[in-house]
Amino acid sequence: MPLDQLNHSIIYFDNAATSWPKPAGMMAAMINYSEQIGGSPGRSGHHRSLDAGRVILEAREALAELFGCNDSLRIAFTKNATEALNIALLGTLSPGDHVITSGMEHNSVMRPLRYLEAQGVQLSVVSCSSDGILSPEDVLAALRPRTRMLVVTHASNVTGTIQPIAELGKIAGRHGILFCVDAAQTAGALPIRVDDMAIASSPFQATNPF
């Protein structure tokens, strides 16, 4: 069967892993970049480079608005969630730090955490309830004076369970620990307000009033 006919006869269930069909606006933006812009942002003073920089700034500001972030310069682009999570974990945690995570994490969180554990980072993996929810009380009970970060997946790619990130963020904010949310399954689908939910927010980093 020709591919175009096949596409119309399937129901695609893998959207959470790889979206399809791609939005028409995405294709239009890529074609527009290739045909009309073509420069690298922040690399040169000519108009192609400046135009590319403008596109990135607009994307940055749209994302900051979508995710409730008051400073669009805090948006960092990575090629996928695995790379972003590796940067967040490996770039922040040092031997002696304590990190709390859930028993529902994707390998892109667990593998860097297990690597860091072997380097001397203390790791608490808090079990979830039988319906897959991480209890904020259990997270509170796992806190230690050296707790630096709480890392939680927003929604599990295996069960679809949605974690109470607003409540967990309150704990992180109150205790001055970094809150890292793996939103690979939810960004753009469920509301995420990084400032209100204390996600990765530096103002809270200074102290850990455990």
Helix (H) or strand (E) holding 203: none
Q: Which pair of structure tokens corresponds to residue 129?
A: 């309830």
| Residue 65 CB, nearest approach to ligand PLP (Å) | 22
CA distance 69 to 143: 26
| Residue 106 CB, nearest approach to ligand PLP (Å) | 4
- The three-point CA angle 210-113-205 to 5° equals 35
| Residue 167 CB, nearest approach to ligand PLP (Å) | 19
CB nearer to ligand PLP: pick between 111 and 146: 111
Q: Which pair of structure tokens corresponds to residue 74?
A: 């805090």
Residue 182's DSSP bridge partners are 153
DSSP count for the chain of H helices, then E strands: 7, 4
CB nearer to ligand PLP: pick between 48 and 106: 106
| Residue 49 CB, nearest approach to ligand PLP (Å) | 28
CB nearer to ligand PLP: pick between 70 and 107: 107
CB nearer to ligand PLP: pick between 157 and 208: 157
Alpha carbon 181 to its chain's center: 5
List residues near ligand PLP by CB under 6 A.
17, 80-82, 106, 108, 153, 157, 182, 184-185
CB nearer to ligand PLP: pick between 72 and 82: 82
Beta carbons within 10 angstroms of residue 141's beta carbon: 11
| Residue 158 CB, nearest approach to ligand PLP (Å) | 8
CB nearer to ligand PLP: pick between 184 and 199: 184
CA distance 159 to 37: 42
The residue among 80, 96, 77 whose CA lies nearest residue 17 is 80
| Residue 132 CB, nearest approach to ligand PLP (Å) | 13
Q: What DSSP character marks residue 151?
A: E
Rg over CA atoms, the chain = 20
Bridge-based pairing state of the strands 178-182 and 122-126: unpaired
